[in-house]
Structure 1
Amino acid sequence: MSSTPSCNPGFSCGLDATLRVIAGKWKPLIIYFLIQGPNRYGELKRAVRGVSDKMLIQQLKELDSDGIVTRHDYQEVPPRVDYTLTPLGHSLAEALTPLCNWGSDNMAEVARIFAERESWSAGAPGPRPS
């Protein structure tokens, strides 16, 4: 019997495991853009609008260490690196597709709800949820 402690973090369910892998604002977007094929860092930076360099690098490193993406360094000058989804990453991207579809189908309603919520925090009069 091994004396090595268990590496199981004790997920409460499958959704818990999934959310731990995609935790963070940017990881699902990175995965979304990588499903279309390998991307270089600069391409991802332009595609994932609003992400800082520090955060994009951190999120890519975490996805790499979690086996979702592979980083390929071509050992060239100037440096050329690209990122690709692994088979595990592809299966995760496929699981995220229904969420993308839901967002596309409901984008106008979600935008309306968020605008309404923003008006509450700005102190504008209007109905608030009960």
Structure 2
Amino acid sequence: MAAARQKKTFACPVDVTLSLIHGKWKPMILWLLSARQHRFSDFQAAMPQVAHKVLSQQLRQLEADGLICRAARDTGRQHMAYQLTGFGRSLRPALNALAAWGKDHHHALGAEYGAPVSEVG
């Protein structure tokens, strides 16, 4: 976690977690990174509704909080890709639990999702 983070008081442990992953796109960014590294353009393709500026902001916030990092990706040309840090990978069980709940209850909410939800390791 970033050293510059100010000490805060939270209402409960759930509040601590939500303080890091709040935002419309952060949970989806973390979910996508649970499977593999992504370049900025990969996020844009997976989430076409998100504005470039908002995606940039949410990626920067996740990076500042120590959940993700940017790394050079060897593909002949140097490309930057985002990946989960060890701290970010520790959220996998929580993301898997949220995904399982959504899979079990999406019909009750009248919701559909595009791709099958599978657990990430």
Q: Same fold (TM over 0.5)?
A: yes
SS at the partner of 1:35? helix
Instruction: Give unpaired runs (5+ residues) of structure 2.
Output: 112-121
**Residues of 2 paired with 1:7 and 1:104: CA distance?**
36
**Residues of 2 paired with 1:49 and 1:101: CA distance?**
24
**Residues of 2 paired with 1:32 and 1:48: CA distance?**
12
* Count of equivalent residues: 107
**Residues of 2 paired with 1:39 and 1:25: CA distance?**
18
Higher Rg: 1
**Residues of 1 paired with 2:93 and 2:39: CA distance?**
21
* Structure 1 residue aligned with 2:97: 98
SS at the partner of 1:39? coil
* Structure 1 residue aligned with 2:118: none
**Residues of 1 paired with 2:72 and 2:20: CA distance?**
23
**Residues of 1 paired with 2:92 and 2:46: CA distance?**
16
Question: Segments of 4+ in structure 1 off by > 2 A?
Answer: none
Higher relative contact order (CA 8 A, sep 6+): 2
Deviation at 1:79, TM superposition (A): 6.2
* Structure 1 residue aligned with 2:114: none
Residue identity opposite 1:92 in structure 2: L
Q: Where is the helix percentage greater, Structure 1 or Structure 2?
A: 1
**Residues of 1 paired with 2:24 and 2:102: CA distance?**
15
**Residues of 2 paired with 1:7 and 1:61: CA distance?**
17
Instruction: Give unpaired runs (5+ residues) of structure 1.
Output: 1-5, 113-130
Percent pairwise identity:
35
